């Protein structure tokens, strides 16, 4: 670890090897703006946390430097300022997307309305059926004359009282 600032040390090592920021960006797939932020020590322009250490590790590997010592140098350099900036986004929190919640509540409302309409329709049909049955029971059945049975006592010949045995 050197006494020069981290960004200056990284830039000096890159320039000593005759490598441009564009070449490092192409080889490591790290955006040029992040590489410039590392060299210029603009820590607030970096994503933060493990990403930054990964960037330092990748650049050190590309330049042939000791990865662990470069990461340790980066951590020492950013120890005070990086902790505050890394926790700020977490404190702010992500903006809440209420659309799924609103859609769910709207679905519940529609379901409740459909269930209420269905319930009232069922009850009305049940009442109509019940009323129809009551009307059928209350109305007297039309009476049809009943014919007497064929062998009824009224059809039998009356006993005669004429002479017989006296």
Q: What is the pLDDT of residue 87?
A: 46
Asked whether residue 80 carries a pLDDT value surpassing 90, the answer given is no
Instruction: Report how far residue 43's alpha carbon sits from residue 34's, in angstroms, rounded to the nearest whole number.
Output: 9
Q: How far is CA 63 from CA 17, 33, 71, 111, 145, in A?
A: 8, 18, 14, 63, 118
Q: What is the pLDDT of residue 164?
A: 56
Model-wide pTM > 0.75 = no
Residues composing the chain:
166
What pLDDT digit, counting tens, does each position of 31-74 carry?
Answer: 889 989 888 988 888 888 888 889 889 999 988 989 898 888 88
What pLDDT digit, counting tens, does each position of 86-137 carry?
Answer: 445 555 567 888 888 999 999 999 999 999 999 999 999 999 999 888 888 8
């Amino acid at each position: 670890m050197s006494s020069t600032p981290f960004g200056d040390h990284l830039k000096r090592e890159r320039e000593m090897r005759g490598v441009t920021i564009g070449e490092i960006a192409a080889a490591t797939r790290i955006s040029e703006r992040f590489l410039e932020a590392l060299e210029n020590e603009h820590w607030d322009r970096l994503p933060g946390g493990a990403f930054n250490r990964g960037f330092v590790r990748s650049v050190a590997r590309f330049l042939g430097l000791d990865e662990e010592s470069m990461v340790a140098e980066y951590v020492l350099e950013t120890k005070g300022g990086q902790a505050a900036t890394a926790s700020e986004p977490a404190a702010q929190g992500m903006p809440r997307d209420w659309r799924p919640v609103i859609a769910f509540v709207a679905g519940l409302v529609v379901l409740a309305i459909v269930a209420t309409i269905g319930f009232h329709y069922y009850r009305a049909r049940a009442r109509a059926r019940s009323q129809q049955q009551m009307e059928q029971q209350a109305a007297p059945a039309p009476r049809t004359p009943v014919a007497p049975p064929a062998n009824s006592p009224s059809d039998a010949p009356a006993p005669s009282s004429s002479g017989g045995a006296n």
